[in-house]
Amino acid sequence: MDVFASLLHGFAVALTAQNLMLALLGCALGTVIGALPGLGPSNGVAILIPLAFTLGLPATPALILLTSVYYGAMYGGRISSVLLNIPGDEPALMTTLDGYPMARNGQAGEALALSGFASFVGAFFATWGLVFLAPQLVKLALLFGPAEYFALFTLAFATLGGITSRNQSKSVIAAALGLGIAMIGVDHQTGVPRLTFGEIHLYDGINFLVAIVGLFAISEVFLFLEHKGEGEHGKAPALGRITAPLSMIRQTSGSMARGTVLGFVAGVLPGAGASLGSFIAYTVEKRLKDKHGTFGKGDPRGVAAPEAGNNAAAGGALVPMLALGVPGSGTTAVLLAMLMALNITPGPLLFAQQPDVVWGLIAALFIGNVMLLALNIPMVGIFVRVLQVPSKYLMPAVAMISFVGIYGVSGSTFDLLVMIIFGVLGYVLRKLDVPMVPVILGVLLGNNMETNLRRALTISDGDWSILWGSWLAILLWAMAIVGFIAPLVVGRFFRVTRQPALEEKAETADPD
């Protein structure tokens, strides 16, 4: 029962006036960010990290603010999916399939209310899952030595491309680029400068915040410039009443339950973020329940399942991120960046040494969830109005806020230039279908990964066999190999199911 005691303590931490205000602010901001096309959980949070950092918020409040934004963005993504058939972010992709037809049938209000409720159910139960599962994983993680950690990092990279990855070699290229960037700077163990070319600014290495904001936010601006004038979305359909009838909720309760479980499992597994959660939830629901061919034509169950799945996966993805310090998806990679910027190292020690941070954060997730439900159902009309802000004014503002954030962190022209370079790099990588998430993860984890490798070899005095010297390490390596090969086999099957129209939309959607 110590879980409940810890959780209660967490609520004591989170329930201060300041933290509640921050959670509210984060939820509102997050919903707006999620609703805006082109901005989603990962680039939205990415832009806000440097700002939260420079405002000098202490760790727990900053964490509460940013995770509220993360959850809020997960909620918000569905608004433009339902109303405009444009997913606000990639996990909301599946919601367009039945949400938009519902809106066209004059059920826009019902679809929004139902998806809001499904999001709440998914996120709420996933947070409970996090409460119980994360401490168990921590117990396992305490058995990890440097060799096991090195294997774990490799596992994270091997599976990051995800089950739907089209080209594993491009995932490897991305990971190598990220790791290579992380090596720049003074070596922590011997103090020699590496790959700095005598440039003093590089001695500290490249700040991961600069890389993330450049890759996620600035590249988005370039993408908008390329597509400008195309696909200017029409007017949102009339909302009608924004409640879901009780019968509809009862009809979809089974879909929500299945979506939640599937989404949570997909979120916990390495290499699968919220996109996979919503995808699996929708596909399974369709296989099970689509007896009259109503899916894709505005079936409420086709809205409830993926929304529950995507929000449950968002909660599930926090399990490995908090317990092991290894994120499984783009957005959790960004959250890891946030923790690192606040000088918090996630992993088993975090639970032992800083329970305030962990349990305060988890309590904040519960609070944020209730707030989001309360915010979303009655106030969705306001968020819909935000959607009407044309990107020609929105994108310059996004770019300028990114500059403000990075300028605030370092105040150096050099970092701003590096950010622009990362923006261009991100644009080119996105065009070439090279995933950006492994790049980010490489930049974030590179030094940690190397440290563990070198520590392991110091213990064994240079004998490489220590890397597979325990059953735990062998298990991790086996999982990494399976995870890397599986998409080559399974991916074929998944890609057939994923309609080409969706692939088209996925390019401009925010990567998860």
Partner 1 sequence: MSDRILGIACLALAGLYIAFATQIQIGFMSDPLGPKAFPIIIGAALGIAGLYPLLKPDPEPDWPARGRILEIVFAAGVMVAYTYALREAGFVVSTAIAAALLSWRLNASPLAAAIAGVAISVGIYAIFHLVLGLSLARGPWGF
Q: Which residues bind partner 1 (CB under 8 A)?
A: 51, 54-55, 166-167, 169-170, 172-173, 175-177, 179-180, 183, 187, 189-192, 194-195, 218, 221-222, 224-226, 228-229, 391-393, 395-397, 399-401, 403-404, 407-408, 411, 413, 416-417, 420, 423-424, 427, 431-434, 449-450, 453-454, 457-458, 461-462
Nearer to partner 1, 113 or 399 (CB): 399
To partner 1, the closest distance from the beta carbon of 209 in angstroms equals 15
To partner 1, the closest distance from the beta carbon of 283 in angstroms equals 25
Nearer to partner 1, 380 or 444 (CB): 444
Angle between helices 471-497 and 146-160 (to 10 degrees): 10
81 near 100, Cβ under 8 Å?
A: yes
Residue 186 host element (H or E):
strand 185-186
Other beta carbons within 10 angstroms of residue 234's beta carbon come to: 9
**Residue holding tokens 């060799």?**
147
Determine the residue type at 42.
S
Nearer to partner 1, 176 or 474 (CB): 176
Nearer to partner 1, 300 or 442 (CB): 442
| Distance (Å, whole) CA 215 – CA 246 | 44
To partner 1, the closest distance from the beta carbon of 164 in angstroms equals 15
137 near 323, Cβ under 8 Å?
A: yes
To partner 1, the closest distance from the beta carbon of 315 in angstroms equals 30
**Closest-CA residue to 154 (of 435, 363, 441, 463):** 441
Nearer to partner 1, 181 or 337 (CB): 181
Nearer to partner 1, 143 or 481 (CB): 481
To partner 1, the closest distance from the beta carbon of 482 in angstroms equals 19
Nearer to partner 1, 91 or 426 (CB): 426
**Closest-CA residue to 102 (of 304, 321, 371):** 304
Secondary structure letter of residue 85 according to DSSP: S
The secondary structure of the chain in percent helix, strand, coil, rounded to multiples of 5, reads 75, 0, 20
To partner 1, the closest distance from the beta carbon of 360 in angstroms equals 22
Nearer to partner 1, 209 or 304 (CB): 209
Contacts of 397 (CB under 8 A, 6+ apart): none
To partner 1, the closest distance from the beta carbon of 446 in angstroms equals 8
To partner 1, the closest distance from the beta carbon of 348 in angstroms equals 24
Residues shown for the chain: 512
Determine the residue type at 301.
R
**Residue holding tokens 């979809």?**
252
Per residue, what are the HEC states of 36-104?
CCCCCHHHHHHHHHHHHHHCCCCHHHHHHHHHHHHHHHHHHHHHHHHHHCCCCCHHHHHHHHHHHHHHH
